[in-house]
Amino acid sequence: MTAWQRAPFQLFYWPFIQGRGEFIRLALEEAGAEYADVARMPESEGGGAKAIMAVLRDESLRPPPLMPPFLKTDGLVVAQTANILQYIAPRLGLVPEPLQARVAAHQLQLTVADFIGEAHDVHHPIAISLYYEDQAAEARRRAGHFVKERLPKFLGYFERVAARAADSGDDWLLGPSLSYVDLSVFQLMSGLSYAFPNTMAALGPEIPRLSELSRRVAERPRIAAYLASPRRLAFNEKDLFRHYPELDE
């Protein structure tokens, strides 16, 4: 058994992108959890994308995961980003105890999932099996609607969530302590600022609380250390959030 196979959390995600795996990485990093980013380990040690494929082909899993990210922990293979976070957050101290707060966290995380699906579909509006260049015209049309309608709608919603938390005297979206949803909103803001810098700059005055919350997340010691480390992959044009200037007009 190699060292990573003994790690209490084994994340399986595509090795060259932040993607949806980043929402899990941020939670594990903030908690200081011992985890293995399996596909980023050398193939000679059982890592690489081959490790992902091996789990996807494992016929003993009930139910099997459909696609990454998935997490091996407690002898389980847990898939779906929001579901993984919901499962591990109590152990990581990243969600308040009461059931109502956990349901609220999951509700917000599912909204993040809806939003990132739309952000992805801006550059792949027709099919993920086609290159961006093969659907650039449709992407441009979709981007017009995304930046004018959907992006302000979703960020406006999270801004209202933040405002109501602040009105109740809370520092974070779900209460006095940071939760995994705060980390995910930070990742949303980072990804959107990379992909749509003009749109985000124009929207800035309307989302002051989200900007401030993102800054506070980035300054947390473990997150700051993670962002400065080689473990944090750079945004790139194979990723979920892509910067194509023609889609940010």
Ligand X SMILES: N[C@@H](CCC(=O)N[C@@H](CS)C(=O)NCC(=O)O)C(=O)O
What is the token pair recorded at 191? 């990804």
- We find the least distance from the C-beta atom of residue 198 to ligand X, in angstroms, to be 25
- We find the least distance from the C-beta atom of residue 197 to ligand X, in angstroms, to be 22
Q: What share of the chain is helix, strand, coil (3-state, %, to 5)?
A: 60, 5, 35
**Which three-class secondary structure string do you get for 168-211?**
CCCCECCECCCCHHHHHHHHHHHHHHHHCHHHHHHHHHHCHHHH
Residues 51-70 that bind ligand X (CB under 6 A): 67-69
- We find the least distance from the C-beta atom of residue 7 to ligand X, in angstroms, to be 20
Exactly one of 12, 18, 19, 195 binds ligand X (CB under 6 A); that residue is: 19
**Comparison of 66 and 228: residue with beta carbon closer to ligand X:** 66
Q: Write the burial class of residue 245 (CB in 10 Å: 0-12 exposed, 13-18 middle, 19+ buried).
A: exposed
Residues 102-141 that bind ligand X (CB under 6 A): 113, 128
- We find the least distance from the C-beta atom of residue 66 to ligand X, in angstroms, to be 7
92 touching ligand X, by CB under 6 A: no
Exactly one of 10, 18, 73, 81 binds ligand X (CB under 6 A); that residue is: 81
What is the token pair recorded at 85? 């976070």
Block residue for tokens 């930046």? 147
Interacting residues with ligand X (CB under 6 A): 19-20, 67-69, 80-81, 113, 128
